[in-house]
Amino acid sequence: MGRCDGKVALVTGGASGIGAASARMLAAQGAQVMIADRDTANGKAVAAEIGSNAAFVALDVASQDSWDAAVAATITAFGGWNVLVNCAGILRHGSIESETMDDWRQTMEVNVKGTWRGCKLAVAHMKAGGGSIVNLSSIAGIEGGADLCAYSTSKGAVRLLTKSVALYCAERGWQVRCNSVNPGIIETPMLETYFAERDDPQAEREAWDRVMPLGIRGEPEDIGHMIVYLACDESRLVTGAEMVVDGGAMAR
């Protein structure tokens, strides 16, 4: 018996990194998984690799129409929907001085409004039968980053959006849990791109390697384990929580 038997999960950002790892791990525990991403080629490849328990739908989390279609496709494909993993996100390097309004808007559109749209649709659907929403925040949403101005702001917003949704549902007696996961530094394409765009990628890499006291480079599966726990009923008493998976960084 799988830990996620009976779960139908829509995983945004499921074509890459943490989302792809989570999709694989949820399916391995018995969930049916809709991989939703703007990256169609990789999204389809992840779904094909998982097999008959997975499908792919194109999703731009910044578009309401796209969200509506992705949710409808999930319910049609699997006959229900009770887990949402909001993993799609973008990371732009920029300080209060260097970043433009366009950088800011794009980050908020995807990281904050995209997550908000997903939460809104999930609550509307899941309030009748229960469910679990997992939002990807970050340790950058707990402590500020001088050169991650919009990103830090967006991830802080996701933390508190999560708590608001959790309380709203709990106070109405709806068994819809909502939690954030706050990863430390995880080896994904997002991180590779971030380093590649720095003036001195090697120096930046070395600096970031010192962030997590355990001294282990985080892998997407380290976050996937937490997402599986939050998706399944083992976490039935957990809502509104910030699940920090960061090699001890926030313990400082």
- Cα separation, 37 vs 70, in Å, equals 10
Cα–Cα dist 191/202, whole Å: 13
CA distance 13 to 10: 10
Closest separation in Å from C-beta 104 to ligand NAP: 15
Beta strands in the chain (DSSP E): 8-12, 32-37, 54-58, 83-86, 131-136, 176-183, 242-245
Residue 132 vs 138, nearer CB to ligand NAP:
138
151 counts as catalytic: yes
CB 44, CB 209: distance < 8 Å: no
Does 39 help bind ligand NAP (rule: CB under 6 A)?
yes
Q: Does 249 bind ligand NAP (CB under 6 A)?
A: no
Site string for ligand NAP, 49-78 (x = CB under 6 A): ----------xxxx----------------
Q: Which of residues 155-184 bind ligand NAP (CB under 6 A)?
A: 183
18 near ligand NAP, judged by CB under 6 A = yes
Smallest distance from the beta carbon of 62 to ligand NAP, in angstroms?
5
Report, in Å, the least distance between residue 68 CB and ligand NAP: 14
Return the range that interacts with ligand NAP (CB under 6 A); candidates 36-44, 74-82, 167-175, 236-244: 36-44
* 184-213 positions binding ligand NAP, by CB under 6 A: 185-186, 188-191
Rounded Cα distance, 207 and 50, in Å: 36
- Rounded CA gap, 96 and 100, in Å? 9
Closest CA to 194 of 100, 88, 91: 91
Spatial distance between the Cα atoms of 52 and 215, rounded to a whole number of angstroms: 38
Residue ranges that bind ligand NAP, judged by CB under 6 A: 12-13, 15-19, 37-39, 59-62, 87-91, 110, 114, 136, 138, 183, 185-186, 188-191
Residues labelled catalytic: 151
